[in-house]
Amino acid sequence: MNTNAAGIKINVSGIVQGVGFRPFVYATATRLHLTGSVWNTSKGVEIEIFGNLHDLDQFLIDLKEKHPVLARIDQIESSAIPFQILTDFSIKSSQAEEGQFLPVSPDMSICPDCLKELFDPKNRRYRYPFINCTNCGPRFSIIKNIPYDRPLTTMADFKLCPACQAEYDNPLDRRFHAQPVACAECGPRLQFINQGQIIGKYEGALTTARKFIEDGKIVAIKGLGGYHLACNASNEEAVQSLRSRKKRSDRPFALMSYNLETIKKFCHITDEEAAILQSPQHPIALLTKREDCSLPEALAPNQNHLGFMIPYTPLHYLLLELDEGFPEVLVMTSGNMSDEPIAYEDEDARVRMAEIADGFLVHNRPIQMRVDDSVVRVVEQQPYFLRRSRGYAPDPIILNDEIPQMLACGAELKNTFCLSRSHYAFLSHHIGDLENYETLSSFENGILHFQNLFRIKPLKIVVDLHPEYLSTKYAVDRACKEQLPLLQVQHHHAHLAACLADNHWVSGQDVIGLIFDGTGYGTDGKIWGGEVLVGEYSSVKRRFHLAETMLPGGDSAIRNPSKIALSNLYSADLPWTEDLPPVQALSEQELAILKTQLENRLNCPITTSMGRLFDAVASLVGIRQIATYEGQAAIELENVCDPQEENAYKFTLNTDNIETAEVFDHILLNLRMGISKSTISARFHNGLANLCLDICKTIQKESGLQTVALSGGVWQNITLLTKTTTLLRNQGFSVLQHHQVPANDGGIALGQLMVAAAAKESN
Ligand code: ZN
Ligand code: ZN
Ligand code: FE
């Protein structure tokens, strides 16, 4: 026997189940002539391994560096155990422990190996639309419960054929224990349904769907996490009719093309964007439109970006297969009526999209949890999330410290919720705008599903301060029923805490928070949104805020940038002259009513919202008077911004507020001089960036702070984000931007959780 002989016991935690981890361990150990065994536990994977020291060291290195693509190792613990003489290395059966949990892998796009097989005529899964392996395919969207085993997924009813079973049982096969494994013999199948009749099956279903799309029709397609509505993106008529049937007036549609080469005909793609588009998550990336882009404007009115993705399931690849005459770009928008959650259950989809879709391309693999497509932009070579969902959820955000089990219910728009356990924050997939019954029940079911999946029993419930949010009502109700403590966290404090957690900021150190947002309920009951906070997780001080203005008509003003513009002029004592676009946009009667409303402060809540300031400027320069979705005016104002312009409007910093009157005065002056929208927009953006620097310098003088966190929906404005970050960094400030969660309300729940965790510590 070798004197170097030793044994180690290794515990691995993270995403290590259902991703080919045990076969990888098996293959690595065998290659290094090591003996022992590996098995799944409720906490992760355990390994007992024996051999000579040199090989054991190599094994530990390979474990960290060569693990399967979908695995994510959070922790490796190893300890020496007595050497045992064994003949081989083996995979043992799972050992479950009550109450333990594991992160669950998100759904992943088809891997290169499966893609090759999909188009290989000699492969037995040639053109099989549900091909997958341990490195790819559905996960989160099909899991009903843990442990992640086939009987607890929506694949339970598909009995494996002998060929699939052999692959599933063979530790050296790349489909060993791939739970959704299937083939045309034993797995899910396609159908095409038109007016309640099946008019195509299998390959025929696919051909019919392609024919429908070629003919300018709208097809509902059952995908990974829900239904899409698809049509030929180059066919203006089809695009318009999809808009009107879906009752979606201006919001951009997501697009899908077979590959990057095709997308390059319409958009510019940087290397980083290419990498993200092709990453295992395959999100939608917002790409800059080419000047000669031939796609209809109706796909994304007044936008200089288009949201593109490449196929992420085998079905998408077959559907979009390149062929002369078949459209190169498809609209792939979520299968729903505007404002409702995406459809994922077959019956419900059939009913809800009956008036929208001309046909349905469906399959019989049930979807357990709906998951929308994720949307990112690329900022500083990294993904910058606008929506974090498919491919990313339910991956937890890793926290610096362990925190108690809690539930954070998020905000109202772009809702996500978040549950904590140990040092994990499980931020949910995108739920949507909590404004109707369907979305609310999807929120409630989602919470229960997460609690069950990660075995979490919240000890505290956290929610926004807004009394009218449906999430607040749910939280209050549940806290009361279950007799749990409830904590309400101010919206912008939560934004700040989300940005800090996103950057692994250590508690106990204050930062400057530039929280620029649309709407959030303030501690004084006013509508906040242009907030400069100083503090951290446990508490914040409101150091500056945007000057207060009136929001005529309350929330409804969000749809009427012209009224916001005129309200700002009223506050600044500037006359409503007839040459101004917002004045022209309203009738004499509307103007009179508005004036009375403002003079008497009738239904005019007070706001300090930065989002509304963008609306006002967009209206004044004539860009948008009526908005059909949140943030539309601001996005369009950013889109016209002249990158060459260097002048800036000057915001005045008072003792505790930011004066805007002078800026409006200056904009009117510029308008009357005939200065272009692009220049005015740039001067406004530059002015805000300068303002941020002024603010930070002032606070730095007061308290020596030099770290700045940028959060809130306004920071989806990449022009402002880039200008501000550059300016601050050049002056020695360190800037925290979002990387893992959105700057918008999709990140709020994480912040709420962190504030609650910090509050508990100080008790
Ligand atoms: Zn695969
Ligand atoms: Zn099979
Ligand atoms: Fe917000």
Q: What is the pLDDT of residue 337?
A: 82
| Closest ligand to Cα 167 | 2
- For ligand 1, the distance from its centroid to the CA atom of residue 188, given in whole angstroms, is 16
- For ligand 2, the distance from its centroid to the CA atom of residue 40, given in whole angstroms, is 25
Q: What is the pLDDT of residue 724?
A: 98
Q: What is the pLDDT of residues 156-178, one digit of tens each?
A: 999 999 999 999 998 888 998 89
Quick one: how far is CA 409 from the chain centroid?
16
Q: Is the pLDDT of residue 571 over 50?
A: yes
Q: What is the pLDDT of residue 336?
A: 87
Asked if residue 96 lies in contact with residue 21, where contact means CB atoms within 8 angstroms, the answer is no
CB pairs under 8 A, 24+ apart, for 600-606?
601/550, 603/552, 603/553, 603/554, 604/550, 604/551, 604/552, 604/553, 604/554, 604/567, 605/526, 605/527, 605/550, 605/551, 605/554, 606/526, 606/527, 606/548, 606/549, 606/550, 606/551
| Closest ligand to Cα 314 | 1
- For ligand 1, the distance from its centroid to the CA atom of residue 181, given in whole angstroms, is 10
Q: What is the pLDDT of residue 557?
A: 87
Q: What is the pLDDT of residue 324?
A: 87
Q: What is the pLDDT of residues 573-604, one digit of tens each?
A: 999 999 999 999 999 999 999 999 999 999 99
- For ligand 1, the distance from its centroid to the CA atom of residue 124, given in whole angstroms, is 14
- For ligand 2, the distance from its centroid to the CA atom of residue 160, given in whole angstroms, is 5
Which residues 6+ apart lie within 8 Å of 402 measured at CB? 422, 423
- For ligand 2, the distance from its centroid to the CA atom of residue 319, given in whole angstroms, is 22
3-state secondary structure of 368: coil
Q: Which of 225, 222, 155, 143 is nearest to 187 (CA)?
A: 155
Question: Cα–Cα distance between 429 and 69 in angstroms, integer?
Answer: 21
Across 195-209, average pLDDT: 95
Q: Is the pLDDT of residue 301 over 70?
A: yes
For all residues of the chain together, what is the average pLDDT?
94
Q: What is the pLDDT of residue 763?
A: 43
- For ligand 1, the distance from its centroid to the CA atom of residue 96, given in whole angstroms, is 27
Q: Is the pLDDT of residue 489 over 80?
A: yes
Q: What is the pLDDT of residue 762?
A: 44
| Closest ligand to Cα 128 | 2
3-state secondary structure of 576: coil
- For ligand 1, the distance from its centroid to the CA atom of residue 672, given in whole angstroms, is 61
Q: Is the pLDDT of residue 711 over 70?
A: yes
- For ligand 3, the distance from its centroid to the CA atom of residue 64, given in whole angstroms, is 39
Would you place residue 3 in the very low, low, confident or very high pLDDT band (cuts 50, 70, 90)?
low
- For ligand 2, the distance from its centroid to the CA atom of residue 168, given in whole angstroms, is 10
Q: Is the pLDDT of residue 1 over 60?
A: no
- For ligand 2, the distance from its centroid to the CA atom of residue 722, given in whole angstroms, is 51
- For ligand 3, the distance from its centroid to the CA atom of residue 379, given in whole angstroms, is 20
- For ligand 2, the distance from its centroid to the CA atom of residue 357, given in whole angstroms, is 32
- For ligand 2, the distance from its centroid to the CA atom of residue 112, given in whole angstroms, is 20
Give bridge partners of residue 15 from the DSSP assignment: 72
Which residues 6+ apart lie within 8 Å of 644 measured at CB? 682
Which residues hold their Cβ within 5 A of ligand 2, which is an ion?
Answer: 161, 164, 183, 185-186
| Closest ligand to Cα 133 | 1
Q: Is the pLDDT of residue 184 over 60?
A: yes
| Closest ligand to Cα 469 | 3
- For ligand 2, the distance from its centroid to the CA atom of residue 11, given in whole angstroms, is 33
- For ligand 2, the distance from its centroid to the CA atom of residue 344, given in whole angstroms, is 25
Q: Is the pLDDT of residue 661 over 60?
A: yes
Across 322-344, average pLDDT: 91
- For ligand 1, the distance from its centroid to the CA atom of residue 116, given in whole angstroms, is 9
- For ligand 1, the distance from its centroid to the CA atom of residue 137, given in whole angstroms, is 7
- For ligand 2, the distance from its centroid to the CA atom of residue 163, given in whole angstroms, is 6
Would you place residue 17 in the very low, low, confident or very high pLDDT band (cuts 50, 70, 90)?
confident
**Beta strands 72-81 and 5-15, pairing class:** antiparallel
- For ligand 2, the distance from its centroid to the CA atom of residue 131, given in whole angstroms, is 10
- Joined together, the tokens standing for residue 121 give 């005529």
Q: What is the largest CA-CA distance in the chain?
A: 99
- Joined together, the tokens standing for residue 739 give 């990387």
The burial of 66, by beta-carbon neighbours within 10 Å (0-12 exposed, 13-18 middle, 19 or more buried), is given as exposed
Q: Is the peptide bond preceding residue 341 cis, with omega within 30 degrees of 0?
A: no
Which residues 6+ apart lie within 8 Å of 526 measured at CB? 548, 605, 606, 607, 608
The burial of 95, by beta-carbon neighbours within 10 Å (0-12 exposed, 13-18 middle, 19 or more buried), is given as exposed
Q: What is the pLDDT of residue 252?
A: 95
- For ligand 1, the distance from its centroid to the CA atom of residue 106, given in whole angstroms, is 14
- For ligand 1, the distance from its centroid to the CA atom of residue 317, given in whole angstroms, is 14
Calculate what percentage of the chain has a pLDDT beyond 70. Answer: 99
**Beta strands 418-427 and 606-607, pairing class:** unpaired
| Closest ligand to Cα 163 | 2
- For ligand 2, the distance from its centroid to the CA atom of residue 315, given in whole angstroms, is 17
- For ligand 3, the distance from its centroid to the CA atom of residue 472, given in whole angstroms, is 15
Calculate what percentage of the chain has a pLDDT beyond 90. Answer: 87
- For ligand 2, the distance from its centroid to the CA atom of residue 231, given in whole angstroms, is 32
| Closest ligand to Cα 160 | 2
Q: What are phi and psi of 745, to 5 degrees?
A: -65, -10
- Joined together, the tokens standing for residue 237 give 């008529």
Q: Write down the pTM of the prediction.
A: 0.94
Asked if residue 744 lies in contact with residue 386, where contact means CB atoms within 8 angstroms, the answer is yes
- For ligand 2, the distance from its centroid to the CA atom of residue 95, given in whole angstroms, is 27
- For ligand 3, the distance from its centroid to the CA atom of residue 424, given in whole angstroms, is 23
Across 355-361, average pLDDT: 96
Q: Is the pLDDT of residue 761 over 60?
A: no
Q: What is the pLDDT of residue 619?
A: 98
- For ligand 3, the distance from its centroid to the CA atom of residue 537, given in whole angstroms, is 17
- For ligand 1, the distance from its centroid to the CA atom of residue 178, given in whole angstroms, is 9
Q: Note the residue count of the chain.
A: 763
- For ligand 1, the distance from its centroid to the CA atom of residue 136, given in whole angstroms, is 4
| Closest ligand to Cα 184 | 2
Q: Is the pLDDT of residue 241 over 90?
A: yes
Q: What is the pLDDT of residue 70?
A: 83
- For ligand 1, the distance from its centroid to the CA atom of residue 306, given in whole angstroms, is 29
Q: What is the pLDDT of residues 407-448, one digit of tens each?
A: 999 999 999 999 999 999 999 999 999 999 999 999 999 999
- For ligand 3, the distance from its centroid to the CA atom of residue 492, given in whole angstroms, is 7
Q: Is the pLDDT of residue 527 over 80?
A: yes
Strands (E), 345-473: 359-363, 375-379, 382-387, 397-403, 407-408, 418-427, 461-464
Q: Is the pLDDT of residue 451 over 90?
A: yes
- For ligand 2, the distance from its centroid to the CA atom of residue 224, given in whole angstroms, is 20
- For ligand 3, the distance from its centroid to the CA atom of residue 588, given in whole angstroms, is 34
Q: Is the pLDDT of residue 40 over 90?
A: no
- For ligand 3, the distance from its centroid to the CA atom of residue 495, given in whole angstroms, is 7
Question: Cα–Cα distance between 388 and 746 in angstroms, integer?
Answer: 8
Q: Is the pLDDT of residue 247 over 90?
A: no
